[in-house]
């Protein structure tokens, strides 16, 4: 029997609080390659964590009253650690088996919500329930030594556990996940729980030795790729997302985030155009009259597809700057997508923060920033953001943004275009033929003359793109009855999910 010590009980409280938050943070990153990190996924994670802990608090209290023994508490912690340790090993087969999205359309709200909920319950509910049993158990054991100070003892236990939770929030986010990866992070905190819990087995050396061997086997077994993809040539995790690069049979490379519902960059070593929405931005500099090199800013640089294309077509006629929040995406762009700092000045920052801190005026600002593949960051859609964009444009400058929408009438597309039109005197929308989900919205204070632009373009590679802008561009007028997105209210994620659900429903009819 391990000697009961109030200090040791506080150590247990600290470690359990540390592990709970570390696993909650890690859960979001572990699920991201398969389900993304949308509000729906986070809701499932937080909901399951709270439910499991609530059940654990209740059951732990009942068990502690019946059998207030330290060895039992340690074995609960040991079991939680072992269950956490096998999670990275089971995530692949489990998501392959429980993949509701394959029955519908990837990224649809119902599919994402249901499948991520099921996986979260299976993987995390039981070990979190076991950790939830720890606090009431500790309070019971603590009160046996200080029966007249139960309130003070409970407060101290919860305080120490909360301090552990604070550390468990920052350590994975700031160091372990970006530097070591999600699997290693889970393994580290699971191992910590196992080592603590194994103190309850120290009299049984055979069981302890078996446990150590199991620990080493499982830790080694999960050293594999994060996702199964025969075309995968690179994968990594950053503080923002799971990053992968795949290459098809033609040798074309694609940059994907999380579950890969959208392509963030494309690179074909044989030709500059990639037959995707990126190509459309190459005609826009022709709309800007300037005797000086045109200054272009790309928010959402990713692998640098747009920057490389603009440099190819305009060379010294333009000066390109790119803003990309994820340093690991920049590194992947340099290695796999020919991203070259000699042709684009790269800023590793948040796009909106960059604009707030910069006083540079640009002739063209291109916005192609997406989080969780299909979601435009809401901070890049609001009235306040477009006023900031307007302030950073030259007198004859223009802005362009790529928007994913299943059709022209979606609430997402209409709210974004109406918000832009409330700021700029001239707003336009052009459907992208190479991708039915893409629309290019352009805006400026001066009228954009697409017909005149077409006459000045003599490059045959841009001929078809120019014709689309001339023939299919629609003028957007501000409608005060339609929604204006603001920093206070911009339900972009809900609009995107509702849009995907509408598509799902139409396919089912």
Q: Which residues are catalytic?
A: 368
The rounded distance, in Å, linking the Cα atoms of 420 and 478 is: 8
Tokens of 75: 């074995």
Which residues lie below 8 Å from residue 357, measured CB to CB, with a gap of 6+? none
**With 0-12 CB in 10 A as exposed, 13-18 as middle and 19+ as buried, what is 174?**
exposed
The rounded distance, in Å, linking the Cα atoms of 254 and 484 is: 34
Q: 267, 346 in Cβ contact below 8 A? A: no
Please state whether beta strands 438-444 and 393-404 pair in parallel, antiparallel, or not at all (unpaired): antiparallel
Beta bridge partner(s), residue 319: 295
Q: 400, 297 in Cβ contact below 8 A? A: no
Tokens of 240: 């923002």
Q: Where are the alpha helices (DSSP H) in 36-149?
A: 39-66, 70-97, 109-132, 134-145
Q: Is residue 245 helix, strand or coil?
A: strand
The rounded distance, in Å, linking the Cα atoms of 298 and 100 is: 36
The rounded distance, in Å, linking the Cα atoms of 63 and 505 is: 48
Residue with tokens 């223009």: 398
The rounded distance, in Å, linking the Cα atoms of 126 and 472 is: 55
Q: 430, 410 in Cβ contact below 8 A? A: no
Angle between helical axes of 109-132 and 492-508 (0-180°, round to 10): 120
Q: 406, 503 in Cβ contact below 8 A? A: yes
């Amino acid at each position: 029997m391990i000697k009961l010590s109030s200090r040791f009980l506080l150590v247990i409280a600290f470690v359990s609080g540390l592990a709970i938050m570390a696993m909650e943070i890690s859960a979001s990153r572990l699920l991201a390659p398969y389900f993304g990190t949308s509000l729906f996924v986070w809701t499932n994670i937080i909901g399951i964590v709270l439910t499991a802990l609530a059940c654990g608090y209740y059951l732990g209290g009942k068990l502690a009253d019946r059998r207030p023994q330290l060895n039992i508490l340690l074995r609960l912690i040991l079991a939680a650690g072992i269950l956490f340790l096998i999670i990275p090993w089971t995530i692949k087969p489990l998501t392959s088996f429980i993949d509701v999205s394959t029955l519908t359309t990837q990224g649809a709200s119902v599919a994402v919500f249901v499948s991520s909920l099921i996986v979260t319950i299976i993987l995390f509910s039981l070990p979190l329930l076991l950790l939830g049993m720890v606090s009431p158990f500790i309070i019971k054991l603590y009160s046996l030594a200080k029966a007249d100070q139960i309130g003070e003892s409970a407060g101290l236990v919860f305080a120490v556990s909360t301090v552990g939770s604070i550390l468990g929030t920052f350590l994975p986010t700031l160091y372990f996940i970006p530097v070591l990866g999600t699997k290693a992070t889970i393994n580290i905190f699971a191992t910590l729980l196992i080592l603590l819990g194994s103190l309850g087995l120290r009299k049984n050396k055979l069981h302890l030795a078996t446990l150590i061997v199991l620990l080493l086997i499982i830790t080694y077994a999960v050293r594999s790729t994060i996702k199964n993809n025969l075309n995968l040539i690179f994968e990594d995790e950053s503080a923002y997302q799971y990053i992968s690069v795949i290459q098809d049979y033609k040798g074309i490379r694609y940059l994907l985030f999380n579950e890969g519902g959208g392509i963030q960059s494309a690179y074909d070593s044989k030709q500059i155009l990639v037959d995707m929405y990126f190509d459309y931005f190459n005609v826009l500099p022709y709309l800007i009259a300037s005797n000086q090199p045109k200054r272009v800013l790309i928010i959402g640089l990713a692998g640098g597809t747009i920057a490389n294309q603009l440099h190819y077509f305009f060379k010294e006629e333009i000066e390109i700057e790119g803003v990309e929040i994820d340093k690991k995406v920049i590194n992947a762009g340099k290695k796999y997508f020919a991203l070259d700092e000699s042709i684009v000045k790269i800023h590793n920052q948040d796009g909106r923060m960059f604009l707030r801190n910069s006083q540079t005026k640009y002739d063209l600002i291109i916005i192609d920033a997406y989080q969780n593949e299909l979601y435009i960051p809401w901070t890049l859609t609001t009235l306040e953001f477009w006023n900031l964009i307007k302030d950073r444009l030259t007198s004859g400058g223009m802005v362009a943004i790529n928007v994913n929408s299943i059709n022209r009438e979606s609430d997402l597309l209409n709210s974004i275009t109406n918000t832009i039109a409330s700021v700029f005197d001239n707003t336009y929308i052009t459907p992208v033929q190479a991708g039915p989900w893409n629309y290019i919205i352009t805006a400026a204070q001066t009228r954009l003359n697409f017909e005149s632009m077409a006459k000045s373009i003599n490059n045959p590679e841009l001929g078809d793109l120019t014709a689309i802008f001339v023939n299919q561009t629609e003028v957007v007028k501000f409608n005060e009855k339609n929604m204006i997105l603001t920093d206070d209210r911009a339900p972009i994620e809900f609009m995107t999910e509702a849009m995907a659900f509408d598509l799902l429903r139409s396919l089912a009819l």
